[in-house]
Structure 1
Amino acid sequence: MGFPSPANDYIETRLNLDDIMIAHPAATTIIQEPGRILVIDRSVKIRQGDTVAFELFGEGHIGKLMGQSLITEEGEAIEGQALEDVVMLGCVTWIVLDVMERGGPTI
């Protein structure tokens, strides 16, 4: 017998991004785009100001819900009759950005 290790208080588990970023696995979609990864949760109730993923004429977009319109990343507003062509994919809960510049000059 001996004394218990004082380091037992500092035992940590491995960092798991799934545990941090995915609250509802059955309702979560991950989309990889050049330079970023989007985590989209279909179970989250979308509210004003939320970033959302949507399709317009079969093309995927990201935008913000503002009032009765969607504001795209390019700053265009989709409103009125045009909203009938929008298919809402879900709320964007996380965006993981690639900040590494591959092939660029060394600073």
Structure 2
Amino acid sequence: MGFPSPAQDYVQRPLCLNQLFNVNGNTLLIETSSGWAVIDKSKRPDPGIVLLVNVDGYNQFARWMGDALITEEGEAIEGESLDGVTVIGPVIALISAVGRDDDCPVM
């Protein structure tokens, strides 16, 4: 029988999104064109934060500003137009993918 290796103190486990963001039944990981978005459906949306919303059957990101939702394109959804909007949840993290585009290599 030997003794435990001191190197065991420095062994690192691979990064796991489930552990980093406490992924559970209330958390969604959505793949986007630039990486991943982490959505927590259990958190209450606060004004000024980015939300994942469903508008006319399409998911998109929008910022809640006052009585309106401002989409990524700068369009405002307000008034009666909000009747067709379903808020899925606030975005708690955006994870950018690296190395997807060969025109912009990363070192």
State the TM bucket, normalised to the shorter chain: 0.7 to 0.9
Q: Note the alpha carbon deviations across 1:47-88, whole angstroms, 9 max, x for none.
A: 011110001100111011111111101111111100011011
- Contact 2:26–2:41, Cα closer than 8 Å, also in 1: yes
For 2:49 and 2:4, locate their aligned partners in 1 and report how far apart those are by CA, in whole Å: 49
Structure 1 segments (4+ residues) deviating >3 Å: 3-8, 10-13
- Contact 1:69–1:79, Cα closer than 8 Å, also in 2: yes
1:20 equivalent in structure 2? 20
For structure 1, the 5+ residue unaligned runs are none
74-83 or 27-36, larger mean C-alpha shift: 27-36
- Contact 2:99–2:105, Cα closer than 8 Å, also in 1: no
Show the 5 A alignment for 1:1-107.
Answer: 10-11=9-10, 13-14=12-13, 15-21=15-21, 23=22, 25-104=24-103
**Letter of the 2:39 counterpart:** I
**CA 1:58–1:106 in structure 2 vs 1: closer, same or farther (change >3 Å)?**
closer
- Contact 1:24–1:43, Cα closer than 8 Å, also in 2: no
- Contact 2:63–2:69, Cα closer than 8 Å, also in 1: yes
**Letter of the 1:59 counterpart:** Y
For structure 2, the 5+ residue unaligned runs are none
TM-score (ref. length: structure 1) = 0.79
For 1:82 and 1:12, locate their aligned partners in 2 and report how far apart those are by CA, in whole Å: 53
- Contact 1:65–1:71, Cα closer than 8 Å, also in 2: yes
Q: Percent identity?
A: 33
Task: State the Cα RMSD in Å.
Answer: 2.6
Offset at residue 36 of structure 1 (A)? 1.8
94-103 or 27-36, larger mean C-alpha shift: 94-103
